[in-house]
Amino acid sequence: MLEIKNKHRSPVQLIIRSRKSPRSFTCLNIPGTGCGKNIFYLEDERATEYIDRAVNDGLISVKQVPNNYLSKKGE
């Protein structure tokens, strides 16, 4: 599981794979740091090359977390 964190005040829009269809894509909007909800957890199989491009541009940071992390955290 990936923890994606927006590092800027402005929102970031990423293209990820859809849950409904494996060949479809959808947009993910991650709010900026001011609202307090700038962290998003994403399954590994939904990641695309757009996430790597946003990391290289310095817009987001990505950290690998264990799959059972959310159940321990209580979300």
The string of pLDDT tens digits covering residues 23-73 is 899 999 999 988 788 999 999 889 999 999 999 999 999 999 988 766 666
Contacts for 6-9: CB closer than 8 Å, 24+ residues apart: 6/30, 6/31, 6/32, 6/33, 6/38, 6/39, 6/59, 6/60, 7/33, 7/58, 7/59, 7/60, 7/61, 8/32, 8/33, 8/59, 9/33, 9/34
Token couple for 51: 């996430």
5: confidence class by pLDDT, cuts 50, 70, 90: very high
pTM of this structure: 0.82
Token couple for 66: 């264990």
